[in-house]
Amino acid sequence: MASPANSNPPSVRSVERSDALFQVRLLAALRSGDPSALHPFLAEISKAKSGKGDREERPDLAALTLHLAIRCASYETIVILLGHRSISPNAVYPPESRISALHLAASLGRAEIVQLLLEQAETDDSVKDAQGRSVSDVATKEVRDVLQESHDALRNQFLTLLSIYVSSVRTSPPPEALIQLLESPRVRSIDLSALDTNTGTTLLHEAARRSDLRLIELAVRGGADVFVRDRRGKQVTEGEKGSGKDYERVKVFLRQFTNRDTTLIDSSATGPPHLKGHLNKYTNVAKGYNDRWFVLKDDMLSYYRHQDDENLACRGSISMRNAKLKASTSDRLRFEVSSNPTRAGSSAQKWYLRAEHPVEVARWTQAITRSIEFWNQPSPNPAGLSLASSVGDSAVMVPKANPTRSSLQMTGSIGSAGSDSGSVKADTKSIYASSWKSPRKKQRRTFRHGKSPSRESVESKSTAAEESGVDGNGMLDDSASMQSSAASAQSEEETAPHSDKFLLQANSTATQIELTTQLLTSLVLSPSPGASPSNRASEIKTALHSSLDLVNSMFTEYTKMVKEREEWYQRRYEREKEKNVMWEDSLGAVVGESEELEKDLLRLREERKGMRKALRASMIMVDEQDYKTIRATKKPDRALPSAPELEQEPPTPTPTAPGPSIQQPVPSVIVFSPPSERAPLPKVIATPMKDDDDDSETDEFFDAVDAGTTASMVIPAPLMSPPPMEEITEKIVDLEQYAGYIHPRERLPIANDNRPPVSLWAVLKGSIGKDLTKISFPVFFNEPTSMLQRMAEDMEFTECLDAAVAERDPHKRIAFVAAFAMSNYSSTIGRIAKPFNPMLGETFEYCRIDRQYRYVSEQVSHHPPISACWAESPSWNYYGEVDAKNKFMGKSFEIRPTGVAHADLKIPVDYVADSKHVSSYPTAPGKLGKGKVVEHYSWKKVTTNVSGFIMGSPTIDHYGEMTVINHRTGDRCVLTFKPRGWKASTACEITGYVEDAAGQRTWEIAGRWSTQLLARRFGSGREGLGPDDAIPRSTITSAGQQEYLLLWRNTEKPTMPFNLTPFAITLNDCPETTLKPYLPPTDCRLRPDQRAFENGEYERANGLKMQLEEFQRATRRKREVGELPAHRPRWFEATVEADTGERVWAPMRAGDQLEYWLQREKSRKSKGQGEWDRVDRIFGDIN
């Protein structure tokens, strides 16, 4: 029997108007795609539209035809229908549902049909169905992408036309394309209030300037905001004004349109409201209200300084989930938005806002109220929106219509509504057409040919990985070799069978079954007036037989497709299962081999221990008598404990190099061998081995010996150990005055870091893009140090500056200064906890008696936070500021220092007597500066990044370029901190060089900021110096040959709470009798919250921190209203540094002494009873 799809129906006029019969024949014609089969139906549609046909209360045939085609017909068939003038792309069917053609195509996931409908000039994609749902609300993901692309294209077109219009002559008319766009039904999807990128004006501003009333009316009716402002914050009537009666009519129209209140939020919308615009936000008493750009989107109300900043940095946000709205009772233009604290101890935000017009206030308050209600309802999904999953990952809209009426049934059908109870609901799944094979599809979007990108995504990704030989985890896949050739051939298919026809076949079958059910229902209904019962029954019976045969054929084909697809998925499942088994077996074998190798390694390690002991004994280079002779030959100017000093070649077979010049006040030591028991080197080089010693550094040394290499390295004496106090001739740190620093502590009061667990993401998720200093953290994320103390950790390795002062060679001096500049980064390893933010005016002092320096710092500014410091010793001064730009980037913190650090070396004048720059060296001041000159250096620090804290594996890294400049000679030392890569070997790596003023490089530098820094004369090696290069066995016979210089080496860092270093642990030590009474009341050791935190009283520390912050805010408010004088730093003042031309915070002096240390001396002499002059009690009475 011929299929109805392949036989032309009789004339439509001659067919009795049974809805089910009509729809069966219409479906057959649509599925066939034959224009000749469609022609009779199109002719009937034309007559029905013109009113010439016998309508018999028949609903819109054009809408019925288009909707049925979207469900079951091919793309080409729908093109034919849309080409007919009687069929509108905005057709709605059934009328009571208000489901448009776009709604139906979007819900079925037919992206190519959605694209086709959007290309029609009359299409309106802003329509909503009876339940208030837009096209985007019911669309699948793929269709939403198509809609977004179309909206973006429209927006770009509008911006282009706006730019043309703005740049044209004032008297010229607007482009015709702009007028057509504003008259288009889709204009509602365009933001007509967008700013022109070049001039910062809007369409309304430009039209008002030209007094173009027609253009203004089109724009306003198309959705332009009458309250829009340009980039300067001017409203439409506040910008450049037009002239004449036309401009007056423009003003009248805008005023009338504003007062009609047409811009309020659409109350029929089911989702959360979305609103943007200008509001005035109250800042403070001094600044009052300032214009800001506000955005209400999703569950967040955010504001920005300017409209252009919307995609850059948010200045604040309030979640609508815990927000409150309050209208002002005294001023109808003002209202307040505040947030409720989400937990105990968190602070609430409150914004005081003001609009320029009551309608604008009503619009914002209505939108905020609806958003609060929406996000606080039990289920935040739009009411009535029911999306059912379909085969693939498409979704279908399920209209909540009368369950007894089919969505395909015509309202004028024969019989009563009750007779439809047996019909199948037409909420079928998303389906593609089985006859979809036209070559035209290749010229359109790629998803029209075969599967869509979203559907079968798992299949395509898996197959792509399989073809490339890599599985989903990026591991090599050898499972293909384990398959038989037949199975491999079958599995080479890229996608599941019938991917392009499967869903369409299911949808067509379901629709055919529904219409067949309606035919069965029609058999028992009374005949239509004027129709012969026998003829009508015969026609229905014939159509029913044909429909049942077609349903049977379609279902058989669908079952076959299901079986083939099931076999395909089963084959893929078996392959994945075999791959997993193979990897499990391989992993088991690797683990077994690893255990065997580990056992062998332990055995070899024990054997090598004995060999190393024998080797160490055989490498003793001098006996006891020779050692005593060398020590007696020359007594060094500064004692070098536990290290022999070589002035001449020792009488050993191994060639050696002479020692440093006798003109150097502190000689260096050239090391050729590991230390012996009689002449041990300090810990920075190697630790003397015990029988069970497995020190990794010693292992590395003996590994080099085993490889035929030993260290030949110059180690400056200051790097080895501080000299005894009795040998120090130049002193500025008095033992009596600084007795509190004689015995620094070695551990914290608590043994472990037992802070309560708190979600860091809960604190940070609303602060992306913000400055870290403006984010309020609970105390549980802190460590027991202040930021001033963290800054003082720069002073841990001042021996590098001592070594620089001892060097006559200016290139070595700058290399040691650079080593000091980078050495502080070694203390950041594992230091993820946040130090306490200093309060304005907070100070910190510190002394090292063995190194003979003293240090003081002060928080000189709160916003922006700036800390100034000064350190002095007999041989050098170090000073500078910390002024960093901090930002939370969502996945990481980024800290970019902007302050400049300085160092002044006080070197003997004979060092530079023969230098051409001798005239530029100033004389060192003070008694200790006699016979010395000052050499000035400066540098800036590199960027610090902390990442991985959200996932619980935090990593700190430093990257960028640090340039140290000698402002007397023009020499430069450049250190490049390389960012951490995915390989562990790239971590903490530093490379660099020293060059003179002419750009000639003299030394190359390499190392890691976590371990050590080495230097080698430039060009003395065949390859560049690497951070982990082994140093070759020396054949030096003179000091002018190859020489390795140790610039810096890290000290041991035992495990401590909060990963603090031994040096950091000493900073917050505050002995009750020898130090605390003499400190100023601003010293951070006296902060009650920090002290409570150090003692493990975390909850108490958090409460004290909140009290201190509130006390600081109250003090600031008093200063703002004049109750207290403006703050001025007590110990530092800002000046301009002559060499760099940049700001520097210099310490205040009384003569040649710092005011701070003079006050400190007075405090000691008064036994802590005297008051510090002009020092505020910034901590109040909080304790």
Domain end residue (candidates: 521, 542, 566): 566
Do 822 and 943 sit in the same domain of this protein? yes
Co-location of 473 and 507 in the same domain: no
**Hey, is 357 helix, strand or coil?**
coil
Cα–Cα distance, 139 to 395 (Å, whole number): 7
Measured distance CA(163)–CA(206) in Å, rounded: 11
If asked whether residues 903 and 970 sit together in one domain, one would say yes
For the chain, the maximum distance between any two Cα atoms, rounded to a whole number of angstroms, is: 137
DSSP string, 1008-1050: ETTSEEEEEETTSSSSPPPTTPPPPPP---STTS--EEEEEEP
Q: In a 10 Å sphere around its CB, with 0-12 CB exposed, 13-18 middle and 19+ buried, how is residue 1023 labelled?
A: exposed
72: its two tokens: 């079951």
Point out the residues of the chain with pLDDT beneath 50.
Answer: 1-18, 53-57, 262-264, 380-492, 526, 621-666, 671-698, 700-711, 1032-1041
Using DSSP, state whether 238 is helix, strand or coil: coil
Residues 759 and 881 placed together within one structural domain of the fold: yes
First to last CA, the chain: 98
Quote the pLDDT of residue 283: 86
675 lies in a domain? no
Spatial CB neighbours of 308, under 8 Å, sequence gap ≥ 6: 195, 231
Whether 637 is covered by a domain: the verdict is no
466-470-472-474 Cα dihedral, nearest 10 degrees: -170
Give the tokens for residue 320: 């609508």
Residues pairing with 168 in the sheet: none
Going by C-alpha positions, the residue among 927, 684, 914, 938 that lies closest to residue 808 is: 914
Whether residue 1094 is contained in a domain is answered as: yes
In the block, residue with structure tokens 């014939």: 542
Task: Give domain status of residue 748, yes or no.
Answer: yes
Distance CA 9, CA 26 (A): 9
How far, CA to CA in Å, does 446 sit from each of 451, 454, 584, 600? 9, 12, 39, 59
Residue 563 to residue 556: CA distance in whole angstroms: 11
Q: Which of 347, 375, 403 is the last residue of a domain?
A: 375
Residues 955 and 1059 in one domain: yes
Residue 559: CB atoms within 10 A of its CB come to 11
Contact 717, 664 (CB under 8 A): no
Task: Give the strand pairing for 884-888 and 876-882.
Answer: unpaired
Helix (H), strand (E) at residue 102: helix 101-107
The pLDDT of residue 211 is 83
Cα angle, residue 1153 at apex, residues 1152 and 1156 outer, rounded to 5°: 150
Dihedral in degrees, nearest 10, Cα atoms 624, 625, 626, 631: 90
> Would 262 be classed as within a structural domain?
no
In a domain, 876, yes or no: yes
Measured in whole angstroms, the distance separating CA 559 from the mean position of its chain's CA atoms is 49
Pair 984, 861 in one domain: yes
Which residue is it, tokens 């912050």?
Answer: 1109
Whether residues 499 and 487 share a domain: the answer is no
Of 375, 409, 435, the position where a domain reaches its end is 375
123: phi then psi, degrees, rounded to nearest 5? -65, 135
Q: Are residues 902 and 820 in the same domain?
A: yes
Indicate if 890 and 930 belong to the same structural domain: yes
**Residue 248 belongs to what domain range?**
154-226+235-255
Check if the beta carbon of residue 704 is closer than 8 Å to that of residue 1022. Answer: no
Provide the number of structural domains found in the chain: 5
Query: Can you give 529-566 as a three-state secondary structure string?
Result: CCCCHHHHHHHHHHHHHHHHHHHHHHHHHHHHHHHHHH
H or E element at residue 364: helix 358-375
Q: 504 CB contacts (<8 Å, ≥6 apart)?
A: 72, 431, 432, 433, 434, 436
Q: What angle do CA 705, 706, 707 make, to 5 degrees?
A: 90
Question: Is residue 1023 included in any domain, yes or no?
Answer: no
CATH of the domain at 284: 2.30.29.30
The reported pLDDT for the residue numbered 902 is: 96
d(C-alpha 829, C-alpha 1006), whole Å: 19
Amino acid at residue number 295: V
- The reply to whether 346 and 365 lie within a common domain is yes
Residue 199's CB: how many other CB atoms inside 10 A? 15
| Beta bridge partner(s), residue 872 | 854, 877
The span from the CA of 992 to the CA of 977, in Å, is 9
The CATH number covering residue 239 comes to 1.25.40
Alpha-carbon distances of 808 from 463, 815, 910, 925, 1154, rounded to whole Å? 68, 12, 9, 21, 30
Which phi and psi angles does 1109 have, rounded to 5°?
-65, -40
Q: Domain of 936: which CATH number?
A: 2.40.160.120
Q: Is residue 677 part of a domain?
A: no
* Distance, C-alpha 956 to centroid of its chain: 16
Does 419 lie in the same domain as 298?
A: no
User: What token pair was written down for 1019?
Assistant: 């060009």
Q: Do 1141 and 1157 reside in the same domain of the chain?
A: yes
Q: Which pLDDT belongs to residue 1063?
A: 94
The position carrying tokens 């029209």 is 448
